[in-house]
Amino acid sequence: MSLYSDKVWRLFREPRRVGCFGPDEEGVVSGSATTPASHAQLVLHLKLAADGRIDDALFQALGCPSLIASGAWLCGWLLGRKADAVTNLEASGIVEQLELTPLKRYCAVMALDALNDALNKHSNSKTQGSLQSDLETVETDND
Amino acid sequence: MIYLDHAATTPVREEVIEAMSRCLGEQGHYANPGSEHVAGRQASQILEQARERFAQLIGAGREDIIFCSGATEANNMALLGMAGFYGNRARKLLLPKTEHKSVLDPCRQLSSQGYKISWLKLAEGGVLTPSTLNEALDEQSLLATCMLLNNETGVINNIPQMAQYCSEKNVLLHSDAAQALGKVPIAVRRWGLASMSFSAHKLGGPKGVGALYLRRKPKVAIKPLMFGGGQERGLRSGTLPLHQIVGLVRAAELAVAEMETETQRLAALRERLWAQLCEALPDIHLNAHSKAQSPHILNLSFEGVDGEALRADLDQLAVSSGSACTSDHAEPSYVLRALGRSDALADSSLRFSFSWPTQQQDVDLAAQMVIASVKRLRAISPSWSEAA
């Protein structure tokens, strides 16, 4: 009897979207999640277009087959979606898609944590960016 | 499927199956060795020949041998039995944390009855140095126990020296030798220890049979755990399974006869596997003492990979891992943790173990599979940056 669903097994054995973007690429934001209990790590790298659309998504993982499959599935799912439209994804959705066992639910949670971390960084950078441009505008006005 | 898990169990050798078959069928020696009729007496004669032969193989006398269901029972019988008999003499048990669970659990059971466990500190690589044991022996010590050959790491302990120290201080020494027979020369009487456990299925014999060496001169007594027909001098009741015992003895005979050549051959295979993995993969760790290692076990930890992922990826390679998997969780090996390995390294360990069927091509294929898996998983890992 297999310990993993067919979907998990396929994504574990031939994971797509593994890696990270080059240092010079623009619009890249990364998020990560760890779980000390199982010393697992998941890092998600998103490449966002100016309109907030996710043009590309890559992941890196140190963890069990279900975690690797969760990262790979999430990257595939994120492609082409708008950043502000992916926040409604829930762990139960990943669990269902990958047929994760209850013990492996934490892998879906980690995938979401990494996504939320990346999206938070993205919105923080946008806020900082707009603050910066406001300041620049003020300075310009003062000149 | 490449099977390199011979420390877990081995297939039964053809010669053993043949010997066992002669005790099973209608034309065979199937009678109860305890029966008085001719068929029973014939079975009894074969039983006693087997006992004599087994005793010779381990340097014992036939009266020192008690047949039982395996090393787990033999360990229980020795530890609980000696404590049961001598418990009013002293109450301290000395052992390292790397013992098999069939030793640890009876000792914990005794601890719940008021016995005190004194954990013996291990030297680097998981070896128990005899001087550490000697220094820990005191007037409160009842018995000490230490494996001859560790099932996870392959570390070989100096039992003869420990036995000498124990007898000088009148402490009973038990040793679990389930992995050792046919890999390490054994001379129980000369060594002078109190008892030693053996198992058939680690050396090409059937599962479900083993033996306890229990010294008769000077006599070591045990309180029996099994009561009934009074077989095995009343120390282990139960009809003796002649076919199983014959299987144990035939397997032991072959293993001991081939020991010299096989240990050299297996040690060469182990070195070959270690060299191939070391050459291809940085940051792997040997979980054993390099100078006191069994020829048939290689236990390694791989940095930068998750144990479960590694085991899943190697689904065509039968090896053991550093995790004790139960139905609902996997926890890192307590043996490797006792050696000082982190949880992550204990979890990402693999134990390769060889026996007579193992050939060079098995080892080469296993090396290729492991190298490919570790490289693949490290390439996915965010924390791994392989040295150029």
Q: Would the pLDDT of B80 be above 50?
A: yes
Q: Would the pLDDT of B330 be above 80?
A: no
CA distance, residue A118 to nearest chain B CA (Å): 15
Q: Do B312 and A32 touch (CB under 8 A)?
A: no
Grade residue A25 by pLDDT with cuts at 50, 70 and 90.
Answer: very high
Grade residue A112 by pLDDT with cuts at 50, 70 and 90.
Answer: very high
Give me the phi and psi of B250, to 5 degrees please: -65, -45
Please report the ipTM that was assigned to this predicted complex.
0.88
Q: Residue B218: is the preceding peptide bond cis (ω within 30°)?
A: yes
pLDDT digits (tens, 9 = 90+) for B108-162: 999 999 999 999 999 989 999 999 999 999 999 999 999 999 999 999 999 999 9
Quick check: A32 contacting B, CB < 8 Å? yes
Residues of A within 8 A of B308 (CB-CB) are 63-65
Percent of chain A at pLDDT > 70 equals 87
Residues of A within 8 A of B329 (CB-CB) are 103
Average pLDDT for A108-127? 92
The predicted structure's pLDDT at residue B112: 97
d(CA B269, CA B366): 11
Percent of chain B at pLDDT > 90 equals 90
Tokens of B18: 């043949």
pLDDT: is A126 or B213 the higher one? B213
Q: Would the pLDDT of B206 be above 50?
A: yes
pLDDT digits (tens, 9 = 90+) for B99-119: 999 999 999 999 999 999 999
Residues of A within 8 A of B347 (CB-CB) are 39
Say which of B312, B343, B383 has its CB closest to residue A62: B383
Grade residue B329 by pLDDT with cuts at 50, 70 and 90.
Answer: low
Q: Lowest-pLDDT range, B36-45, B269-278, B319-328, B354-363?
A: B319-328
Give me the phi and psi of A73, to 5 degrees please: -65, -45
CA distance, residue A19 to nearest chain B CA (Å): 7
Q: Residue B130: is the preceding peptide bond cis (ω within 30°)?
A: no
- Per-residue DSSP letters for B298-333? EEEEETTS-HHHHHHHTTTEE-EESEEE-SS-EEE-
**Pair B125, B288: CB distance under 8 Å:** yes
> Beta strand B195-199 with B210-214: parallel, antiparallel or unpaired?
antiparallel
Q: Lowest-pLDDT range, A33-37, B166-170, B361-365?
A: A33-37
Token match 């396929």: residue?
A: A10
pLDDT digits (tens, 9 = 90+) for B5-28: 999 999 999 999 999 999 999 999
The predicted structure's pLDDT at residue A131: 55
CA angle A123, A129, A135 (to 5 degrees): 140
* Residue B209 burial class via C-beta count within 10 angstroms: exposed 0-12, middle 13-18, buried 19 and up: buried
Residues of A within 8 A of B305 (CB-CB) are 62
Other Cβ atoms closer than 10 A to B106: 22
Quick check: A64 contacting B, CB < 8 Å? yes
Q: Do A62 and B381 touch (CB under 8 A)?
A: yes
Of residues A71, A74, A76, A73, the one with CA closest to residue A60: A71
Round the average pLDDT of chain A to a whole number and report it. 89
Tokens of A21: 């973007």
CA angle B77, B251, B235 (to 5 degrees): 20
The predicted structure's pLDDT at residue A133: 57
Token match 């994804």: residue?
A: A89
Could you tell me where the DSSP H helices lie in chain A?
6-13, 65-78, 91-98, 105-142
Cα nearest neighbour of B384 on chain A: A62
CA distance, residue A95 to nearest chain B CA (Å): 18
Q: Would the pLDDT of B2 be above 60?
A: yes
The predicted structure's pLDDT at residue B324: 58
Q: Would the pLDDT of B203 be above 60?
A: yes
Q: Do B382 and A3 touch (CB under 8 A)?
A: no
Maximum C-alpha span of chain B: 76
Q: Would the pLDDT of A137 be above 60?
A: no
Q: Would the pLDDT of B326 be above 50?
A: no
pLDDT digits (tens, 9 = 90+) for B357-371: 999 999 999 999 999
The residues of B whose Cβ lies within 8 A of any Cβ of A are 304-306, 308-309, 312-313, 328-329, 343-344, 347, 379-384
Tokens of A7: 């979907």
CA distance, residue A107 to nearest chain B CA (Å): 13
| Contacts (Cβ under 8 Å, ≥6 apart) of B132 | B120, B121, B122, B123
> Beta strand B284-286 with B297-302: parallel, antiparallel or unpaired?
antiparallel
d(CA B9, CA B357): 12
Reduced to 3 DSSP states, what percent helix, strand and coil does chain B have, rounded to the nearest 5?
40, 15, 40
pLDDT: is B343 or A57 the higher one? A57
pLDDT: is B385 or B224 the higher one? B224
Average pLDDT for A112-134? 81
What sign results for the dihedral spanned by CA atoms B159, B161, B167, B170? negative
d(CA B180, CA B51): 19
Q: Lowest-pLDDT range, A74-88, A96-110, B32-46, B311-325?
A: B311-325
The predicted model scores a pTM of 0.91
Token match 């940085």: residue?
A: B282
Of residues B299, B300, B301, B294, the one with CA closest to residue B267: B294
B325 is catalytic: yes
Say which of B305, B379, B383 has its CB closest to residue A41: B383
Of residues B186, B181, B139, the one with CA closest to residue B163: B186
Grade residue B385 by pLDDT with cuts at 50, 70 and 90.
Answer: low
If DSSP codes are grouped into helix, strand and coil, which group holds residue B256?
helix
The predicted structure's pLDDT at residue B322: 66
**Residue to test with chain B: of A39, A41, A45, A106, most B Cβ within 10 A:** A39
Grade residue B386 by pLDDT with cuts at 50, 70 and 90.
Answer: very low
* Residue B352 burial class via C-beta count within 10 angstroms: exposed 0-12, middle 13-18, buried 19 and up: buried
User: Whole-angstrom distance between the N-terminal and C-terminal Cα of chain B?
Assistant: 33
Token match 């098999």: residue?
A: B100
